[in-house]
Structure 1
Amino acid sequence: MLVVALRLMADGGLVALMLFASAGTLAWWRAWVLLGVLMVVRVAGAAVIARVSPTLLRERARLPLHDEQPSADRLLLLAVLATGFLGLPLLAGLDVHRWHVLPPPAPWLSSIGLVLFALGWGLKQVALRANAFATTVVRLQTERAHAVVDAGIYAVVRHPFYAADPLILVGLGLWLQSSTAALAAVVPVLFMVLRLQLEERFLLRALPGYDTYMTRVPHRLVPGIW
């Protein structure tokens, strides 16, 4: 699992680079707490998932591109990563330490942001544990007998992995006390929704049984709403 550990460290390092380079200082305790929560939740999740889906972990540790991946999915995935998981930490550092575009959120709201951030990453780990086919790219995994997963959290919403993104991205901005970054989270979330819809059309066309799964579980991200 060395490749998985290296990927986790690389992801954390990229987020740290965006945060501290944009802030111009390492003396930003909220950023250190955010990174600590990120690594603890992801490492703990990887340890659990490794017991049930080691192949999935190795697959997700690779670069988020695949020869069988539709070009539209590739573009949307890169857009989510660039504007969300890299762009928002960069924006938060610039806003908090240089720009001060909007007043910061109240301390209690910032604390809620950290809870949302942790819950979002926790939800991603739960989704990965339940779905051994939740790879980074949209493709039909014929080599692993790809099948519909409708157990656990996938019996509640069809895309729990994506449902975590708004929690993570908005929570990040709130905890770092950047109202601007929290509001800007709408951009990567919109890209995520477009990608979700593309993935659903692909699965409906290519994966047997997905149409009946959509009937059984009618909501994509939020139970009772959408």
Structure 2
Amino acid sequence: MPESTTKNSETSKLNRDGRRGVVVNFLSVILAFIVLLISANDIYWINGWMYFGFMIGYEIVYTLFLMRINPELLNERAKLIKKGAKRFDKVFAVSYIPMYFMVLIISGFDAVRYGWSTMPLWLTVLGLFMVTFASYISFWAMYANSYFECTVMVQEDQQVCKSGPYRVVRHPGYAAGIVSVLAAPLILGSWWGLVPSTVITIMLVIRTVLEDRTLKKELPGYMGYTKTTRYRLIPRVW
């Protein structure tokens, strides 16, 4: 998700890649929900349905939002691994999906099927607030940065984005991703689900460091941006 200023997308339209990406995204959410219910062995699991409702709602809003402000971004984000992608990007793309499904499987086993642990209701509520906040930050970043892509790749016409959440931290998309992945086990009521969530968090922190290093080398003006926006993920911390 290289940082850059917005580009003109008034003439952009959803192309074949974009349409395929939208279908794949919705099918992925449905598959994740099926895996979640199978792992829990309970089709009436309220937390599972609540999580699914939020995720499918997010996909609907995400798709309509980008179709309105920047369809080209939907087209580009449909390409998970682009030609010329960095090696660490490819490793992350291959590793993230199975780790995310581990969050769902372990949470289903823990919270329902085997009952390894019990989580208080207030943490579920906290998880819902966390994922709502993360979604807001994610949409804000997409609105500010039309190059909010899945692949670390500096394009020829890119400039550093300094607006929106990029005024606060340099990688708001990763910050939102970390909050979301930590919120999932809370919504599902699973302490053990936090184990793979923590692994994904570490992966995202490492990816942040590697992307930041790449942008300093390859994106003109980014080094100066790091002096005015000092923090990568957490304001006043790091």
**Shared fold, TM over 0.5:** yes
Q: How do residues 42-191 of structure 1 correspond to structure 2 at under 5 angstroms?
A: 42-62=59-79, 64-83=80-99, 85-101=100-116, 103-142=117-156, 145-191=157-203
8 Å contact from structure 1 (residues 41, 122) kept in 2: no
Q: Distance in 2 between matches of 1:53 and 1:165?
A: 21
Identity in percent? 26
Q: Distance in 1 between matches of 2:134 and 2:98?
A: 18
Q: Distance in 1 between matches of 2:97 and 2:123?
A: 25
8 Å contact from structure 1 (residues 80, 192) kept in 2: no
CA deviations over 1:163-221 (Å, ceiling 9, x no partner):
01222122110111101112442110001111111111111111101101111100011
AA in 2 matched with 1:217:
T
Find the partner of 2:56 among 33, 39, 44.
Answer: 39
Under a length normalisation based on structure 2, what TM-score does the superposition of the two structures give? 0.86
Q: Distance in 2 between matches of 1:119 and 1:45?
A: 14
Q: Distance in 2 between matches of 1:114 and 1:182?
A: 15
Could you list the runs of 5+ residues in structure 1 that have no partner in the other structure? none
Q: Distance in 2 between matches of 1:129 and 1:18?
A: 32
AA in 1 matched with 2:163:
A
Q: How many aligned positions are there?
A: 221
Under a length normalisation based on structure 1, what TM-score does the superposition of the two structures give? 0.90
Query: CA shift at 1:79, angstroms?
Result: 2.0
| Residues 1:65 and 1:221: Cα distance change in structure 2 (over 3 Å) | same
Q: Distance in 2 between matches of 1:208 and 1:14?
A: 41
Q: Distance in 2 between matches of 1:109 and 1:136?
A: 30
CA RMSD of aligned residues (A): 1.7
Q: Which moved more, 1:44-53 or 1:152-161?
A: 44-53
Q: Secondary structure at the match of 1:180?
A: coil
8 Å contact from structure 2 (residues 21, 78) kept in 1: yes
CA deviations over 1:41-61 (Å, ceiling 9, x no partner):
232133223222211111112
8 Å contact from structure 1 (residues 22, 94) kept in 2: yes
